[in-house]
Amino acid sequence: MTTSTIRYPRYHEDFQALAAIRPGPSWLVDLRAAAWDRFNELGLPTARRGNERWKYTNLRPLAAIAFESPQATDSTGGLDAGTVRSLAPWDEAWTNLVFVDGKFSEALSTIAPAQNGTVCSDLASALNGNSGPVRDGLAQLASFDDDAFAALNTAFINDGASIQVPDNAVTASPVNLVFVSTAGPQPQVTHPRTLVQVGRNARLTLVESYVDLTGGSNFTNAVLEMAVGQGSHVDHFRLLMDTPDGFHVGTSRVLQGQDSSVTSSSFTTGAAMARNDFLVTLDAPGASCDLRGLYATTGSQHIDNLINIDHAKPHTTSRLFYKGILSGKSRAVFGGTVTVRRDAQKADSRQTDKNLVLSHEAEVDSKPSLLIYADDVQCGHGATAGHIDQDTLFYMQSRGLDRATATKMLIQAFAAEIVDTVGVEQVHGFLETVFAGSIPAESVVFGGRP
């Protein structure tokens, strides 16, 4: 630790407290210390000029709050099993890991019998047991060199999930991670960390849900690292249901091996500020990924998706399709960069961002970029923003539907293009009922200014 000034005393206090209570193995002590130093050097990226990664998202409100780490309470946080089950997609036959205020809750979790050698555990126990794969895997994909949030999360690595799928293992039932925030006396911060290591020719379905029950300004700073081995397939779902005053920064880093495929769907509602920072590296020939997303904002919410795909090797394929529905005074940011590196020939990429803007005060900022350094490629992107098509609406009205119903149907149809790609029945059902209900139909405006 250098003698440089401590820029965030509240985080520093909690960092020292964690090191004292849960020191863990020595490599972890070093990792956390290095990450803390880096975080202290970088600081939160609040600059409003020359800060391309955060061009459209102002982090000053987040930086102004002295979040505190949750005090140790009983591991259920006062929640009962029935409530938890209604908060996120759930099936008793799955492996369900529940985290309350960042801490694993054994009482609320249900762990299915191990399938084909797959290891699912909370990260805290894995760290306690000084698990080899965890030691070798942590902080390998989520670099904190130039990412303050990854650095902050790494400095606070303590709990989360650890999943190892061995070669040739097919985990038939999904692994379900539910992160719940409950009320504290002060705004709270949690740093859940998830490490997923999938071997060769294996298969995994992973569901992550982040729920806030408080209505307060909690901050979740989550990091997911997922390495997918040769010939493996992963279905990933990320559901964020935050409160209107909540803050969420999700950093996901995926590394794909030869002929592997990943489909990842992200669904986001709520949040005063939510960031979904997703990077997939297609690191071997034949790797492919299909990323989809749906975001719905209302009130004064702000959702920022930064989706990057790195075609590092030849013969790689990527698809990216995000859709947004905006109302109120909300703002949605989409930043996506597809990079095709030198010699990554035969890359095939398609990137699309479509936005439905339903109110006069809402704002869409979209920046879908292509950085191409190889010549034999097929890459494209498209972005649209607009309101509901008046001709379609007129047609539906002419068939006897009232305007409100027709509007609602069209919004649902717009969302269905993403929702209906979800192949896991429980997740699809959950999205259709719970999530769809949070898409606002009010404050829809048409034509000129009222």
Partner 1 sequence: MTTQRVISRTDTTSSDLDTDYKWGFTIDIDSDVAPKGLSEDVVRLISAKKGEPEWMLEWRLKAYRHWLRLNYEEPAWANIEHPQIDFQDIYYYAAPSSGKDAPKSLDEVDPEILEAFDKLGIPLAEREKLAGVAVDAVLDSVSVATTYQETLEKAGIIFCSMSEAIRNHPDLVQKYLGSVVPYGDNFYASLNSAVFSDGSFAYIPKGVRCPIELMTYFRINQADSGQFERTLIVAEEGSYVSYLEGCTAPARKQHQLHAAVVELVALDDAEIKYSTLQNWFPGDRDGQGGVYNFVTKRGKCAGQNSKISWTQVETGSAITWKYPSVILQGDNSVGEFYSVALVNNYQQADTGTKMIHMGKNTKSTIVAKGISAGHGNATYRGLVKIMPSADNSKNFTQCDSLLIGDKCGAHTVPYIEVRNPTAQMEHEASTSKVSDDQLFYCQQRGIGVEDAHYMIINGFCRGIFQELPFEFAMEASQLLKVSLEGAVG
Nearer to partner 1, 56 or 203 (CB): 56
Residue 88 or 333: the one with the smaller Cβ distance to partner 1 is 333
Shortest CB 392 distance to partner 1, Å: 14
By C-beta, is 59 or 347 nearer to partner 1?
347
Q: Which residue has the tokens 């990091």?
A: 223
Instruction: Tell the smallest beta-carbon distance from residue 403 to partner 1 (Å).
Output: 16
Residues lying near partner 1 in the complex (CB under 8 A): 50, 52, 342-343, 345, 355, 357-387, 445-449
Q: Compute how many other C-beta atoms are within 10 angstroms of the C-beta atom of residue 149.
A: 24
Question: How far apart are CB 438 and partner 1 at their closest, in Å?
Answer: 20
CA dist 436 and 20 (Å) reads 44
Shorter beta-carbon distance to partner 1: residue 297 or 359: 359
**C-alpha to C-alpha distance for 212 and 186, rounded to whole angstroms:** 14
Distances (CA, A) of 240 to 58, 61, 289, 443: 20, 20, 21, 23
Nearer Cβ to partner 1, position 342 or 399?
342
Q: At closest approach, how far in Å is the CB of 386 from partner 1? A: 5
Give the position of tokens 């920022």.
304
CA distances from 347 to 33, 230, 369 (A): 39, 18, 15
Q: Which is nearer to partner 1, 161 or 415 (CB)?
A: 415
Instruction: For residues 225 and 209, give the distance between their C-alpha atoms in angstroms, rounded to a whole number.
Output: 16
> In terms of CB distance, is 185 or 447 closer to partner 1?
447
Provide the minimum distance between the beta carbon of 325 and partner 1 in the complex, in angstroms, as a whole number.
11
Q: Whose CA is closest to 346, among 292, 288, 290?
A: 288
Query: Token pair 């970088």 is at which residue?
Result: 42
Cα first-last separation, the chain = 59
**Are residues 347 and 377 in contact, defined by beta-carbon separation less than 8 angstroms?**
yes
In the bound complex, what is the minimum distance in angstroms from residue 46's beta carbon to partner 1? 18
Q: What is the identity of the amino acid at 90? A: W
Residue 343 contacts residue 374 (beta carbons within 8 Å):
yes
**CA dist., res. 366 & res. 144, Å (int):** 26
Distance in Å, CB of 445 to partner 1, minimum: 6
